[in-house]
Chain A
Amino acid sequence: MKKGQIIGNAVILVFFLFLLIDSLKLHEIRRFGEMGSGFWPILILSISTLLSAFLLFSSILKFRKGKENEEPEETLSPEDLASRKKQRNIVIFCAAVTLVYIFAMQAIGFALATLLYVLAFVFVLGERRKSVLIVSPVLVTALILVVFSRFIAMPLPKGLGFFADLSRFFF
């Protein structure tokens, strides 16, 4: 049992406990002869809290048992550690780029935001070939625009000001 898993299980317990406490205020909201808005949430969150406490407890026990039995801890070479850190950074960058994309498409419009997003995403994933970096964003954006804007007629975000005019040029 890894320490990270114990921390994860503890976070789950705190999450459900917080929600359970929050749900208690719903207990009294009901009409005559009705089950009310609070019964189901309190029931579900009570079970969730109990089970997550059990999960945390059993993971701590497993961790201690592993230590008592002197099970060898996972040892990583400096290269493995560096590669793990690199992998973690890639995930963080991917998530960050996606969040920026969501914000950006409202301001600069779907077409331009998608073009930049695909370029950034492909780059973050390690692609360095110039041809791929140039062609893929244009191709993916064009395909998506044709299918969703022309064919399905989905009203995609056009952006603000100058960018809205630019978007109208494409869709």
Chain B
Amino acid sequence: MLEHYLAAFGTILLPQNILAMALGGLWGIIAGALPGISTSMGVVLLIPFTFALSPITAFTTLVSAYCGGITGGSITSVLFGIPGEPSAVCTVIEGHALAKQGHAARALWIFIIASAIGGIFSVFVMMVATPLIANFALQFGPPEYFALTLLGLSVVSGISGGSVLRGVLSCLFGLFLAMVGTDGITGVERFTFDSVILLGGIELVPAMVGLLAFSEILLEAEQPFTEYKGSAHYRGLREEMPTFAEYLNHWVVLAKSCVIGTISGALPGGGATIASFLAYGEAARTSKHPEKFNNGAVDGLMAAEASNNASTGGSMTILLSLGIPASNTTAMLIAAFMIHGLQPGPLLYSQRPDIIFGIFVAMLVTNIFLVALSIVGVRMFLQLNRLPYAVFSAAIMVLCVIGAFGLRNSVDDLYIMFVCGIIGYFMKKLDFPIAPAVLGLVLGDRAELSLRRAMLLSLGDPLILVSRPISAILLAAAAFSILYPIFKKSKMFRES
């Protein structure tokens, strides 16, 4: 294992990978900071840039953007009181309160260092947990894979957005998109309606770019974001740098938040938002100075930031070991793996350790790098903020078009992106979450193939899915993740 780590460090510290890390991280910070561009959208827009890169450089860029996005979401929270990401809501409460008291630079330092601590902690957990889970998952056969895929789909459908029904329908729509094209086993055309464009199926990148990014720009066009117009003032970062003792005084809060964040990130559907709320709540409950909460509590800010960054390592552990996404952004990363001809999951760990260990090391170095990148990011963001909104939108739209075009250099993919963008716009208007549809599209093929293989194994007996213990447990968990929110909602309804 040591030789894998040494080789990975050797690769990641090459100049091209350091550059990839810096650019990816900066883009992530900017994407996370700007409302209207989420971390997942930032990762999707970055995918076309990675087509020409080697897999290791590509994933260094993408995971840096992922980590940067979570960190960047807090910049606007502190400076303007507007969360760039939902996971930065708790940061608004404490960080912006500090900023209003004239300590924006201090709040920025606290969140930057706490984020780095959370991120680095979760990477170490990821390094230990991924091989263990991947080795266990090597026992999985087609029924277990089908159940696992179903669990991934059900969890994201169950938790994203308000209505479970809409989440499930969105996921089913994604599964339908994955069916379009020629069936790989029988060679039959499905839902192509005699169109040549659809014969090869719906490509992931154009569909994802359309559903996530194009639709968002259309939605933003209705009500352009103009709330940043007042510029932020803060004293020099150097003058307000907190001391090491200040972090040491809050080590218990930091440690607890790191653990909460990593576990929450690893739970499918948990993610950074839930992590930050849980850790913030715990910090408020156990604080020696609860009266300071809502008024610039340093421990509250540390808890929120350490936990939301710690969630990245947790999510990546599940992605790399089991191949299922625990968050929206890791769902986008699955698509990136597929584009580079890789399938995340237990086999990747044994077949391509260079990629797995490369990602471990890239995430570790990125989290250290993010301290410096965040300071650059804050300054860059304040400059970028002066750009007219319309120009920014137009540039993103051109990036969407290039992203959809670049994979196969085909204009057909642009039509797919356009149609998916329009569908995504109406889905958002009708309150359908987009993430389950993207996940359905990404995992649809695998779900169908695993089911068909399982049926072949059992000679058509569907009981194989519930007669094997791991598969049965995973299916029960999938059913629970769909039914629990419904049960909870109906209970709340009855009580009210």
Contacts and interface: CB of A to CB of B under 8 A. Distances in A.
Interface stretch (A25-33, A63-71, A74-82, A163-171): A25-33
A106 B413 CA distance: 13
A60 interface: no
Interface string B191-228: 10000000000000000000000100110011110000
B194 to A, nearest CB: 12
B402 A37 contact: no
B188 A29 contact: yes
Chain B interface, >50% SS class = helix
Nearest to A118: B394
B174 to A, nearest CB: 10
Nearest to B224: A125
A32 B429 CA distance: 45
Interface string B366-405: 0000000000000000000000111101110111011001
Interface string A106-148: 1000000010011001101111010010001000100110011
B402 A154 contact: yes
B159 to A, nearest CB: 17
A30 B52 contact: no
B455 A35 contact: yes
Interface stretch (B84-92, B175-183, B272-280, B463-471): B175-183
Given A51-B168, A114-B398, A118-B398, A91 B393 contact: no
B409 A154 contact: yes
Given A106-B411, A154-B402, A33 B456 contact: yes
Interface stretch (B39-47, B62-70, B349-357, B418-426): B418-426
Contacts of B388: 122, 127, 129, 132, 136
Nearest to B426: A8
B430 A5 contact: yes
B286 interface: no
B109 interface: no
Given A5-B430, A117-B394, A148-B402, A34 B456 contact: yes
A152 B51 contact: yes
Interface string A1-20: 00001001100100000010
Contacts of B214: 98
Contacts of A54: 165
* Residue of A36, A54, A98 ringed by the most chain B CB atoms within 10 A: A98
B54 interface: no
A52 B188 contact: no
A48 B173 contact: yes
Nearest to A121: B394
B186 interface: yes
B425 A91 contact: yes
B172 A98 contact: no
Counting contact residues on chain B (CB < 8 A from A), the size range is: 35 or more
B425 A126 contact: no
Interface in A37-63: 37, 40-41, 44-45, 47-48, 51-52, 54-55
A14 B480 CA distance: 30
Contacts of A99: 418
A105 B397 CA distance: 14
Contact of B169 (A30, A51, A98): A51
A44 B179 contact: yes
B439 to A, nearest CB: 14
Contacts of A124: 221
Contacts of B223: 87
A131 to B, nearest CB: 10
B96 interface: no
B448 interface: yes
A91 B222 contact: yes
B394 A33 contact: no
B49 interface: yes
Contacts of B340: none
Nearest to B187: A37
Contacts of A152: 49, 51-52, 406
Interface string B22-62: 00000000000000000000000000010110000000000
Contacts of B451: 35, 40
A145 B175 CA distance: 36
A102 interface: yes
Contact of A22 (B165, B175, B191, B402): B191
B452 A34 contact: yes
Given A48-B173, A125-B390, A102 B418 contact: yes
Contacts of A37: 183, 185-186, 188, 190
Contacts of A125: 221, 224, 389-390, 393-394
B218 A91 contact: yes
B415 interface: yes
Nearest to B430: A8
B217 A155 contact: no
Nearest to A87: B222
Nearest to A49: B172
15 contacts: A19-B176, A34-B185, A37-B188, A41-B191, A87-B222, A98-B418, A117-B394, A121-B393, A125-B221, A125-B393, A125-B394, A127-B391, A144-B399, A148-B406, A154-B51
Interface of A: 5, 8-9, 12, 19, 22-23, 26, 29-31, 33-37, 40-41, 44-45, 47-48, 51-52, 54-55, 87-88, 90-91, 94-95, 98-99, 101-102, 105-106, 114, 117-118, 121-122, 124-127, 129, 132, 136, 140, 143-144, 147-148, 152-157
- By Cβ-Cβ distance, the 9 closest A-B pairs, closest first, are A125-B390, A121-B394, A127-B390, A48-B172, A136-B391, A87-B222, A122-B390, A37-B183, A8-B430
Given A51-B172, A126-B224, 13 more contacts: A8-B429, A23-B190, A29-B186, A33-B459, A34-B452, A41-B179, A51-B165, A55-B169, A91-B221, A98-B401, A122-B391, A127-B390, A140-B395
